[in-house]
Chain A
Amino acid sequence: MDILRFITAGSVDDGKSTLIGRLLYDSKSIMIDHLEAIERQTKNRDDGEIDLALLTDGLRAEREQGITIDVAYKYFSTPKRKFIIADAPGHIQYTRNMVTGASNSELIIILVDARHGVIEQTRRHSIIASLLNIPHVVVAVNKMDLVEYSEEVYNNILKDYDSLAGQLGLKNVTYIPISALNGDNIVDASQLLPWYKGDTLLNYLENVSLADDINLTNARFPVQYVIRPQTEQLHDYRGYAGKVISGIYKVGDAVTILPSGESSRISMIELGGKKVKEAFAPQSVVIHLRHDVDVSRGDVIVKDEDIPLIEQQIEVLLCWMDNKPLIAGNKYLLQINSSRVRCVVKTIDYKLNVNTLEKDLSPDKAGLNDIIRATIKTAQPIAYDSYQKLRVNGGAILIDETSNVTVGACMIQ
């Protein structure tokens, strides 16, 4: 059994909440007390059907305003897999939430209303999926019941989306015709869609191969914490605690510590207190080095044969997440994994229209939910990979030092 983290993109109007409700309900992940609470709320409805959308209903603060504030996480599992759903609101003003939810997702379900086909919102969600480099895309063509389960309608949407996917360079796109409301092709194959021979949605989610989503080639180990018991018996114990974010490390490997560039060899690896010969992503371990070199939190231990980029000036695609605008020249903290350095956003090169992919080449500033390309200079060199090559070592956040708030998400180019 493994874990699949996915995000659903779409608005309430596309049936997103109904879809999530349906997945939870049909996979029997809804508990009776939660269901009863919903039944109480739906008593007033004419058809007496349970409103599955209410299963994803959130906080009172949201109900009062009729909005979704934030990403909510939902959990369900089948004998094959544990699923973590990041449920992010899909409206234009919530690009920030979608980027947040997408950053940890291996798969995105993009909901398309069969009556409307590929619209501006579909394009926006797909652009974000491509920027965040989500490995798997499912286009769920919903509300097939409202287009009489027409194969032609479905095929036309497929053709339209195919060209969008090509334009954005999206890989691994899968199409599934569904009706979330009626449960067609969610868990069970629909009798009403005999022309569709593919997987049901749950079937696909259970079986999509995740093996390639973890990079086992480019070994990266950001040090989080140094374990030094300094007791009599463990006088010389000095272990570097962290998570192997990618690649494989073996005892005896020749390694370089970045950004200092010092070299050593791995003398011991511990996993949960036990010695092991090797460690691989995404294990949390303790690494020991043969030499007494200077290593502290924020350093990255890499293997000699595969060194990441080490620069003080980086190009990023940046999603701005703060109400205060970003103006070129502003200073922030940049955090990539456990490393935090001061930085300045030197220039804003262009602003990306997330609906059309057009570039505004002379923006004076970036506002909340804008996606821009910028050049950032850091006070110290950082060790990174391009986000497209290695997601886990190419994403960084910007922190406003005066408010402490996370104000930007950077995908390093």
Chain B
Amino acid sequence: MSDYKLDYLDQLESESIHIMREVAGQFERPALLFSGGKDSIVLVHLALKAFRPGKFPFPLVHIDTGHNFKEALEYRDNLAEEIGERLIVRNVEDTIKLKHLAEPKGKFASRNALQTYTLLDTIEEFKFDACIGGARRDEEKARAKERIFSVRDEFGQWNPKLQRPELWSIYNGKIDKGENVRVFPISNWTELDIWNYIKRENIKLPSIYFAHKREVIEHEGQFVAMSKFVLIEPTDKISVRKVRYRTVGDMTCTAAVESNATKIDDIINEIIATKTSERGETRIDDQVSEAAMEDRKKNGYF
């Protein structure tokens, strides 16, 4: 019977495809939130396996903060064209202008929190009832407690105390009009699983995931890319270093790690050896407070 055994990556893949197909089966107007980061790239790859030769039962949606890496945006546009799926882009910039929102201030001012406004507006505009996202439970302790089908109220808010029990592989996506469900098909994957899968499936990634030379500002031991979005001060320590990105978010709040890894095997080795978590090493926005993610989620964030 040993022929009928699935490797752990196959098990994870099958679980994620099952979840995506539940979305297709249970919702009228789902969407896949695509950021250009590795996790959402893996989601697209899984969707291809789940729905081809049919079309995706959802568009790709990108909430563009305007602070993205150009490599990630190029990748996004190329991918959408290559697979022939619809891409919807909505800009945080427009929301700021339209709603007279205050731009965040400070050295590494992040539009991360403002993203939620644009996301909620986009959900309303297209009447999305389910939004698939690439969050993983190993990333952060608030995420560790969120359901795979996470019901949000009409303000997009997560209430950790009122979560539906999620039993077996049965997903309850029943909602009232105006509510929506955030769905996380790769909840059970870790960072290392993602990289091993990218390697196995030979998935293309934006170039910034691999080591490259970049002008960076050193800030409390982290390296942030020089860009027009960062407030540069005379005391800043600026240098050119060989770096790669472990996560791809906004240029203002994502730090690079020093690395010589130009191949996927090198990256996997570095991740196995690393002693710092993905978000801890690269996300400046999480370090604001102990409960930064929990608070954002309660306000409608992913």
Q: Please give the distance in Å from A274's CB to the nearest CB on chain B.
A: 10
Q: Is A321 an interface residue (CB 8 A)?
A: yes
| Nearest A-chain residue to B24, judged by Cβ | A225
A346 contacts across to B, CB distance below 8 A:
none
Q: Please give the distance in Å from A128's CB to the nearest CB on chain B.
A: 13
User: With A37-B290, A60-B294 in contact, do A395 and B168 touch (Cβ < 8 Å)?
Assistant: yes
CB 8 Å contact bits of A378-413 with B (1 = contact, 0 = none)? 000000000000011001110101001110010000
| Nearest A-chain residue to B175, judged by Cβ | A404
B167 contacts across to A, CB distance below 8 A:
99-100, 103-104, 395, 397, 406, 409
Report the bound CA distance from A60 to B291 in whole Å.
6
Q: Please give the distance in Å from A78's CB to the nearest CB on chain B.
A: 12
Q: Is B174 an interface residue (CB 8 A)?
A: yes
CB 8 Å contact bits of B1-29 with A (1 = contact, 0 = none)? 11011111011111101100110110000
Q: Contact between B145 and A71 (Cβ–Cβ < 8 Å)?
A: yes
| Nearest A-chain residue to B297, judged by Cβ | A59
User: With A227-B54, A229-B55, A234-B53 in contact, do A96 and B165 touch (Cβ < 8 Å)?
Assistant: yes
Q: Which chain B residues (247-302) contact chain A, with CB distance < 8 Å?
A: 274-277, 280-281, 290-291, 294
Report the bound CA distance from A229 to B84 in whole Å.
13
Q: Contact between B172 and A404 (Cβ–Cβ < 8 Å)?
A: yes
A60 contacts across to B, CB distance below 8 A:
290-291, 294
Q: Which of B51, B174, B280 contacts A333 (CB 8 A)?
A: B174
Q: Is A211 an interface residue (CB 8 A)?
A: yes
Q: Is A34 an interface residue (CB 8 A)?
A: yes
Surface stretch bound by B, among A116-124, A181-189, A251-259, A276-284: A276-284
Q: Is A173 an interface residue (CB 8 A)?
A: no
Q: Please give the distance in Å from A264's CB to the nearest CB on chain B.
A: 21
| Nearest A-chain residue to B144, judged by Cβ | A72
Q: Contact between B163 and A284 (Cβ–Cβ < 8 Å)?
A: no
Q: Is B138 an interface residue (CB 8 A)?
A: yes
Q: List 16 A-B contacts (CB under 8 A).
A: A1-B8, A3-B8, A3-B12, A33-B277, A60-B294, A69-B160, A74-B144, A103-B167, A211-B5, A224-B18, A224-B22, A225-B24, A241-B50, A245-B169, A282-B14, A397-B172
Interface set of B (CB-CB < 8 Å, partner A)? 1-2, 4-8, 10-15, 17-18, 21-22, 24-25, 48-55, 57, 137-138, 141-142, 144-145, 151, 160-161, 163-170, 172, 174-176, 187-188, 190, 192-193, 274-277, 280-281, 290-291, 294
Q: Which chain A residues (31-48) contact chain B, with CB distance < 8 Å?
A: 31-34, 37
Q: Please give the distance in Å from A59's CB to the nearest CB on chain B.
A: 5
Report the bound CA distance from A30 to B76 in whole Å.
33
CB 8 Å contact bits of A352-396 with B (1 = contact, 0 = none)? 000000000000000000000000000000000000000110011
Q: Contact between B188 and A73 (Cβ–Cβ < 8 Å)?
A: yes
Q: Is A242 an interface residue (CB 8 A)?
A: yes
Additional A-B contacts beyond A32-B280, A104-B169 (16; CB < 8 A):
A34-B277, A70-B145, A82-B193, A100-B167, A216-B1, A224-B24, A224-B25, A227-B53, A227-B54, A237-B53, A273-B48, A283-B6, A284-B18, A338-B22, A406-B164, A406-B166
Q: Which of A69, A273, A409 contacts B49 (CB 8 A)?
A: A273
Closest 4 CB pairs of A and B: A33-B280, A31-B277, A284-B17, A60-B291
CB 8 Å contact bits of A42-68 with B (1 = contact, 0 = none)? 000000000000000111110000000
Q: Contact between B294 and A59 (Cβ–Cβ < 8 Å)?
A: yes
Q: Please give the distance in Å from B153's CB to the nearest CB on chain A.
A: 12
B164 contacts across to A, CB distance below 8 A:
405-406
B52 contacts across to A, CB distance below 8 A:
273
Q: Contact between B138 and A241 (Cβ–Cβ < 8 Å)?
A: no
B193 contacts across to A, CB distance below 8 A:
82
Q: Contact between A75 and B18 (Cβ–Cβ < 8 Å)?
A: no
Q: Which of A71, A234, A399 contacts B172 (CB 8 A)?
A: A399
Q: Contact between A338 and B25 (Cβ–Cβ < 8 Å)?
A: yes
B12 contacts across to A, CB distance below 8 A:
3
Q: Is A77 an interface residue (CB 8 A)?
A: yes
Residue in A31, A57, A237, A273 whose Cβ sees the most chain B Cβ within 10 Å: A31
B18 contacts across to A, CB distance below 8 A:
224, 242-243, 284
Report the bound CA distance from A151 to B201 in whole Å.
51
Q: Contact between B166 and A59 (Cβ–Cβ < 8 Å)?
A: no
Q: Contact between B145 and A69 (Cβ–Cβ < 8 Å)?
A: yes
A57 contacts across to B, CB distance below 8 A:
141
Report the bound CA distance from A228 to B55 in whole Å.
9
Report the bound CA distance from A338 to B168 in whole Å.
12
Q: Please give the distance in Å from A326's CB to the nearest CB on chain B.
A: 15
User: With A2-B7, A60-B294, A227-B51 in contact, do A100 and B165 touch (Cβ < 8 Å)?
Assistant: yes
Q: Contact between B145 and A59 (Cβ–Cβ < 8 Å)?
A: yes
A84 contacts across to B, CB distance below 8 A:
188
User: With A2-B8, A224-B25, A284-B18 in contact, do A399 and B174 touch (Cβ < 8 Å)?
Assistant: yes
Report the bound CA distance from A37 to B17 in whole Å.
35
Q: Is A297 an interface residue (CB 8 A)?
A: yes
Q: Contact between A404 and B145 (Cβ–Cβ < 8 Å)?
A: no
Q: Contact between B163 and A70 (Cβ–Cβ < 8 Å)?
A: yes
Report the bound CA distance from A229 to B137 in whole Å.
34
Q: Please give the distance in Å from A203's CB to the nearest CB on chain B.
A: 19
B10 contacts across to A, CB distance below 8 A:
283
Q: Please give the distance in Å from A369's CB to the nearest CB on chain B.
A: 11
B14 contacts across to A, CB distance below 8 A:
243, 282-284
Q: Is A8 an interface residue (CB 8 A)?
A: no
User: With A33-B276, A237-B53, A338-B22 in contact, do A104 and B138 touch (Cβ < 8 Å)?
Assistant: no
